[in-house]
Amino acid sequence: MSDQIASSCDDCAFHNIAQLKKLGVNVEDTDYVVTLAGNPNTGKSTVFNALTGLRQHTGNWPGKTVTRAEGGFSYNEKRFKLVDLPGTYSLLSTSQDEEIARNFILFGRPDVTIIVVDASRLERNLNLVLQVLEITNKAVLCLNLMDEARRHDIIVDERTLAKDLGIPVVPTSARSLEGIPQLIETIYKVASNEIVCKPHKIKNLAGPVNKAVEQLSSKISKIYPEMPNSRWIAMRLLDGDERVVTALQNNEFLIA
Amino acid sequence: MTPDPGIALIVFFILVFVGVLLWKIIKSPFLLQNIKQSKKALVEDILKQLYHVEYSGRTASLNAMAGALKLSDRKIVRLVEDMSSHDLLKLDQDILQLTSSGRDYALKIIRVHRLWEKYLSERTGFDKSEWHDRAEQKEHTLTEEQAEQLYHDLGNPRFDPHGDPIPTEAGEIIETHWKSLSSLSENTVARIVHLEDEPEVIYQQIVAEKLHIGSQVKIIASDNHEVKFFSEGEEYRFSPIVASNISVKELTAQEKYEEDVVRLSSLDPGEKAIILGISSECRGASRRRLLDLGFIAGSSIETEFASPSKEPKAYSIRNTIIALRGDQADLILIKKVNE
Amino acid sequence: MVEIKDKASEIIDLASELRWQVGDDFHDRLTEGIYADAATITERVEQKPDRKISYSFDRALDKILTSGTFGFPIMILVLAVILWITIQGANYPSGALAVLLLDIVYPFLKDISSNLGIYWWIDGLLIDGVYMAVAWVIAVMLPPMAIFFPLFTLLEDFGYLPRVAFNLDSLFKRAGAHGKQALTMSMGWGCNAAGVVATRIIDSPRERLIAIITNNFSLCNGRWPTQILIATIFIGALVPSGLANLTASLSVITIAMLGVFFTFFSSWVLSKTMLKGEVSTFTLELPPYRPPRFWKTIYTSIIDRTLIVLWRAIVFAAPAGAIIWLISNIDVGDVSIANLAISSFDGFGVLLGLNGVILLAYIVAIPANEIVIPTILMLTVSNLAITGVGAGEGVMFELDSSSETAEILKAGGWTVLTGINLMLFSLLHNPCSTTIYTIYQETKSWKWTSVASILPVIMGFVVTFLVAQVWRLIAGV
């Protein structure tokens, strides 16, 4: 049981090839695997299309993409595989969509997770963002629908947001391709470890809940020192998530 | 060539009739009774019944037991003889008494029953009126290992959805110190902790009145004819018989009686409120979904507009419009805010 | 492996113990904690004006679109306009495609094959069978779908459809279903397979299954032409010629409304019986209105919905074409398989007020409702050995005028009852194989796929049977 996660190489890929194959993603001819997460109705599919040039249908409907859409792009001679996940409000409810999104980020370990949020309803969207940041260290926040936010006179201070979340924030209006080149560049920098994220961890847990999470997660870290998201796994176990229990038993969290 | 329509219709209706009859027989209480009449189930029912009787501080005679379980005298005598030879109960001058191994057995059955009710409430869409009957069936068939698995999967629950404590594997059960709603005097404030699901007629009435476990109540008047009280902004009038099936616990010093708590369903378009919480009657997937959407204590909410048939209503919460149905809005507790 | 199990169970045991201590409101506390963090961060980074002003346009529009007075009329008007544009607009391209594929390309292919001297059975199987079936499906299916779906998608992009679900939810709630089923139902009027895919918008497991299983009761565009043709021949003929068109149209609308009735009825039954144990939740977000981007929407909805569904239909229609040709051309003894099947189904068919030809047509034409009428015509002609009509054994055809069609059908022993029951059976029978396949793809369950396939056909048998007997009793035939 050797672990190969804590590799010293600077720009190598981080994704879990074996798990990705199981999830049905072909990673041949790909340097990095990038995934798109986000609430329904944040223009996630529009961002997907803007990045890949594909014409996936994007509806004004919560929860459009149940099956995954895949596409690709390249930048700086690196080939990126982009996987669009179902839009979800959370990763905690274990509905079918959430399970797909959660499993992909958790087991597939994408090199970068782009979290698309609606700039005009930041607070609601942060619920999902903070959950994703508990799972993965490599994320970019795509502050989408900037045009709509401007129309409603909503101003978001993206520098402070980036500082608070500990990940890069790129404002975009994917419909008009505004901000997309910057987004691609940032994805590249995070994938190649040029930018190292220090994601925000959830702070405001009530006393006893926080204590239980800490106690369990330190146990997990002691048994699996290489597990990057022990706190999140602790939260899921405390919530009685059967899928995570099975994953622990089958050792799905580690790269074999 | 063309068959006679009259004969065809008659044959058709005979076939339908036979089909319905077969279905009824398969599903009938008569056949279920037969399954229940299996010796194991009968023994378990006697133990459970006896446990409940002893728990409430009463005693059970052989006759009363035969009556409660609708068994013939001959049958109950045979069963009781058999059970005493297995050291499950004692017959002392027509009074049935559980032995300690009988009590353990009874608690195991009760444990499975309550666990299954908990499972039905959390993981399935069955209506709460069906939980009890389904658990009555399941309690005789689930093995101990399955019950343990269920217990872990459900996150080691301590109470069933009616508020009854679930006995532990070792057979311990939390002592409850509840009062009946009918015993409270005027102006007492309390919290509903348990709704008795037997007899069913009364339980259905309580359910239909939308009274929820976890809700605070305030007694306005109580006499031999009627118990009048407030809960979540609604006024209720129950007969003492119904009210005695509602168990409550007086509020502790830390608990504050929320004078102006009302249900979200009472918030009219244009009105604003602060969410106080989601009732504990909202369970499983529905509860998690509401939480994920941001229906969290302290959030501000406003009713924006109603659909042409008054339901669902659209609420604005965290800058998003979410529509909820009336029965969902009934389970969200709020405090109205005046501008 | 033992080591892994040990490590895992050590963690899981601790988790169980802690869960007992934390209590069962962990999920509540966790969500509250996350939202508290979200609120703190938002407070620091966001400046916004009074929300009332900035969303006033959306709210004003909502007040109209969901109002008691205008809500329903607007909805009905929008739907009627879409259906009208689809049916009217599809006529011309459908006709043009039929001319191109059936009158120009088909003879051309036949010429090539006879010039090359290809064996008659290869030629028959591939050109008369496979090609004809595919051509028919494309000609009938493509134009209405290419019009209907983009229009629907435009409404979707604008944000109107969630408001429709909002308006109709209380109606669907009474049947144990979700308001969004209104949309998957309407989508089913275009194509049931697309309607089934569209149920993805319903995020509650029970209501989604209900929507999938009942989608077949939406009369899809493969069935509209059958309804219109049969109504014109048999029902329009019952009234003075001035009223014929109107009566025929009304009878088709009645059938479609009957489909809506069956949707509600079976939704209600399912939610009370087979599906009552499935988890059910309700949430409906009403997103902000967004101006749709016209051309992009048209382009993507044609690619996304129309072509995918069309491709599936073609894949299923091709082998059906081959089978139709084969059963008409392979003889057992002196009789073709088709004629054998027709005579063995005839007794049951007549009992239902239909006949053997119709039942056989529905069996072989399971891939696509579009080819039911051509198959019926071909089978009738070949069964009665009528000469001078059609293009030979196993070659589907349609006639230019409905009166010629009527002559053939009446020669086949069709009465008004046959017509009415065919219309009913066309509404109430198993979904086409494209839809069945899609249902399996969406549910990944053989159980629900079988229920969705078998339930409607049983209802069809019962309804046509009862209508036939009552009709015969009253008419005294």
> What does the pLDDT look like over B61-72, one tens digit per residue?
888 888 887 888
**Which of A:35-54 have CB within 8 Å of C?**
40-41
Tell which of A141, A158, A191 closes a domain.
A191
- Would you call C159 an interface residue with chain A, using a CB distance cutoff of 8 Å? yes
Give C430-439 pLDDT, tens digit per residue: 998 889 998 9
The structure tokens 């007997």 sit at C469
Which of B288, B291, B305 has the CB atom closest to C62's CB atom? B305
Given a cut of 50, is residue A141 above it in pLDDT? yes
* Pair (A86, A32) in one structural domain: yes
pLDDT tens digits for A161-213? Answer: 999 999 999 999 988 888 999 999 999 999 988 888 888 888 888 888 888 89
| Judgement on whether residues A147 and A60 belong to the same structural domain of the protein | yes
Q: Which residues pair with B179 in a beta bridge?
A: B248
- Per the domain annotation, does A12 fall within a domain? no
**pLDDT score of B165 more than 60:** yes
> Is the pLDDT score of A7 beyond 50?
no
- Using a CB-CB cut-off of 8 Å, the residues of chain A touching B154 are 240
**Range C56-65 average pLDDT:** 86
Q: What is the pLDDT of residue B6?
A: 86
Kindly list the residues from chain B whose CB atom is less than 8 angstroms away from the CB atom of residue C23: 158
Question: Is C465–B12 a contact, with Cβ atoms under 8 angstroms apart?
Answer: yes
Task: Find out whether B220 and B230 touch, Cβ atoms under 8 Å.
Answer: yes
Residue A151, pLDDT above cutoff 60: yes
- Find the range with the poorest average confidence among A161-175, B170-184, B264-278, C58-72: B170-184
Structural domains in chain A (count): 2
Same domain, A233 and A154: no
A168 SS3 class: coil
- Helix or strand run (H / E) with residue B276: strand B272-278
Residue A213 sits in the same domain as residue A186: no
Q: Which residues of B touch A240 (CB under 8 A)?
A: 153-155
Q: Over 90: is that where the pLDDT of A72 sits? A: no
One-character DSSP codes across C401-429: SHHHHHHHHHHTT--HHHHHHHHHHHHSS
What lies within 8 Å, CB to CB, of C215 at 6+ separation is C184, C185, C188, C192, C195, C196, C199, C431, C435
Q: Name the residue range of residue A244's domain.
A: 207-249
Phi and psi, residue C227, nearest 5°: -60, -45
Q: Which of residues 191-210 of C touch B (CB under 8 A)?
A: 205-206
CA distance B67 to B96: 14
Judge whether A3 lies within some domain: no
> What is the residue-averaged pLDDT of chain C?
86
C positions 41-70 inside 8 Å of B (CB):
51, 59, 62-63, 66-68
Q: Does B241 touch chain C (CB under 8 A)?
A: no
The answer to whether residue A11 sits within a structural domain is no
Cβ count within 10 A of residue A237: 25
Give A156's strand partners.
C46
Contacts of B323 in chain C (CB under 8 A): 166, 169, 283-286
Mean pLDDT of A98-120: 89
Residue A148 lies inside a defined structural domain of this protein: yes
The distance of A10 to chain C (nearest Cα, Å) reads 30
Chain A residues within 8 A (CB-CB) of chain B? 89-90, 92-95, 120-121, 123-124, 127, 239-240, 242
Is A242 in contact with B319 (Cβ distance < 8 A)?
Answer: no
Determine contact, residues C135/C373, Cβ cutoff 8 Å: no
Provide, rounded to the nearest whole percent, the portion of chain C with pLDDT above 90.
23
Instruction: Sheet containing B227-231: give its strands across.
Output: B179-180, B246-250, B189-195, B216-222, B227-231, B234-238
Nearest to B153 among A121, A123, A242 (CB): A242
Question: Looking at residue A2, what is its pLDDT?
Answer: 40
**If you average pLDDT over residues C95-101, what whole number do you get?**
87
Q: Both A107 and A141 in a single domain?
A: yes
Q: Cβ distance A50 to A116 under 8 Å? A: no
pLDDT band at A256 (very low <50, low <70, confident <90, very high): very low
Q: Are residues A234 and A186 in the same domain?
A: no
What's the pTM? 0.86
Q: Are residues A132 and A215 in the same domain?
A: no
What are the structural domains, with CATH classification, of chain B?
Answer: 31-98 (1.10.10.10), 111-153 (1.10.60.10), 179-250 (2.30.30.90), 262-337 (2.30.30.90)
Q: How many CB atoms lie under 10 A from the CB of residue C334?
A: 6
How far, in whole angstroms, is CA C4 from its chain's centroid? 50
What does the pLDDT look like over C355-414, one tens digit per residue?
899 999 999 888 788 888 888 888 888 888 777 776 677 777 877 777 888 888 888 888
Q: What pLDDT sits at residue C89?
A: 85
Q: Give the distance from residue C137's alpha carbon to the nearest chain A alpha carbon, in angstroms.
A: 24
The average pLDDT across B95-106 equals 86
* Cα gap C456→C444, rounded to integer Å: 20
Tokens standing for residue A168: 């890069």
Asked if residue A27 is part of any domain, the answer here is yes
- Residue A30's region, left for phi above 0, alpha for psi from -120 to 50, else beta, is beta
- Contact B288/C285, CB-based, under 8 Å? no
pLDDT tens for each residue of C152-195: 888 888 889 899 999 999 999 999 999 999 989 988 888 898 88
Instruction: Note the pLDDT of residue A60.
Output: 41
The pLDDT, as a whole number, for residue A255 is 53
- Phi/psi class of residue A240: alpha, beta or left (left: φ > 0; alpha: ψ in -120 to 50)? left
Determine the distance in angstroms separating the CA of A90 from the nearest CA of chain B, rounded to an integer: 6
- Work out the average pLDDT over C255-278: 90
A-chain residues near B288 (CB < 8 A): 90, 92-94
pLDDT at B204 over 50: yes
Question: Confidence band (pLDDT; 50, 70, 90) for B37?
Answer: low
CB contact under 8 A, A204 and C11: no
pLDDT, tens digit, 9 for 90 and up, residues C369-384: 888 888 888 888 888 8
Asked whether residue A115 is domain-assigned, the answer is yes
Locate the chain B residue with the closest alpha carbon to C51: B319
| Chain C partners within 8 Å of B5 (Cβ) | 468-473
Q: Does residue A96 register a pLDDT over 90? A: no
Residues A33 and A145 in one domain: yes
Contact A154 C54 (CB under 8 A): yes
Contact yes or no for C286 and B2 at CB 8 A: no
Task: Name the minimum distance, in Å, from the CA of C302 to any CA of chain A.
Answer: 10
Give me the pLDDT at residue B315, please.
94
Residue A114 lies in a domain: yes
User: Do A72 and A174 belong together in one domain?
Assistant: yes
- Give the number of residues written for chain C: 477
CA C182/CA C284 separation, integer angstroms: 13
- Interface touch C200/A64, C-beta < 8 Å: yes
B127 touches chain C (CB under 8 A): yes
Domain edge (last residue) among A163, A191, A219 = A191
The residues that bridge with B194 in the sheet, in sequence order, are B247
Let me know if residue A7 belongs to a domain: no
The CA-to-CA distance between both ends of chain A, in Å, stands at 7
Taking CB atoms and an 8 Å cutoff, what residues of chain C touch B290? Answer: 283
Pair A92, A163 in one domain: yes
Are residues A86 and A176 both part of a single domain?
yes
Report residue A12's pLDDT band, with 50, 70 and 90 as the boundaries: low
Sequence-ordered list of residues with C-beta below 8 angstroms from that of B319, at least 6 positions apart, any chain:
A120, A121, A123, A124, C51
Query: Which residues, 6+ apart, have CB-to-CB distance to C444 below 8 Å?
Result: none
Q: Distance between CA B63 and CA B73 in Å, rounded? A: 8
Please say if the pLDDT value at position B74 is more than 50.
Answer: yes
CATH at residue A142: 3.40.50.300
Same domain as A44, residue A151: yes
**Rounded CA separation B173/A60 (Å):** 52
Domain limit, last residue, from A167, A191, A215: A191
Percent of chain C topping pLDDT 70? 97
- B272 and C CB contact within 8 Å: no
Q: Which member of A55, A61, A130 has the closest CB to residue C162?
A: A61
B214 close contact with C: CB closer than 8 A = no
CA distance C405 to C435: 29
The yes-or-no verdict on residue A8 having pLDDT over 50 is no
Please write the tens of the pLDDT for every residue from B262-282: 899 989 888 999 998 898 888
